Amino acid sequence: MCGCVEASSHDSSVEETFNVITTHHPTMKFLQLLHRRDALIRQARLANVAFAYQRLRDFATRISQAGLRGTVTLRGGDPAGELPWPELVAEECSQAAIEEHFLDEDVIELADILAFLHDTNRLGSLSFRLQDLGPRYLSRLRHELEIARIAIDEGASQAGDPSRDVC
């Protein structure tokens, strides 16, 4: 619970004693939510595009800095099948180098991002050259963000990493 405390009842003496500022969140009405549905869906898509842009940029930087080159195949995985999670297989480069630079969590995240970009729930199999990962996707993502008038923070990294959230 991150050490956060939630009061179960309102006691103004506690507020006065401890100088606590409480905020009362207004309840959103059902019809308001329905009217805002399209805008919320658009905002969720833009948040996913921004996350994909940031993480793919991080992956492209890692690939470039490590000098990784060559064709790989990303197999999406099927929790109910023989391959329960995604795997990144080297076709023209060293599998050991791939495994050194991409943790299992990275491969899962990459598969999720590419499934989102290919508009599918589960990525089947996708082959690409490592050095082309950034050029293949980043300009399209950047363009969508710019059209939506989203300012891109070039210095940001590790976007949306829940392990870095602080209460």
pLDDT of residue 24: 63
Can you say whether the dihedral through the CA atoms of 82, 87, 91, 96 is positive or negative? negative
Alpha-carbon torsion (137, 138, 139, 144), positive or negative = positive
CA 72/CA 110 separation, integer angstroms: 13
Angstrom distance (rounded) from CA 17 to CA 13: 6
pTM: 0.73
For residue 135, the model assigns a pLDDT of: 95
Cβ pair 95, 89 in contact under 8 A: yes
What share of the chain has pLDDT > 90, as a percent?
60
pLDDT at res. 82: 82
Residues of the chain with pLDDT under 70: 1-26, 155-167
C-alpha–C-alpha distance, residues 150 and 135, integer Å: 20
Q: Give the mean pLDDT of the chain.
A: 82
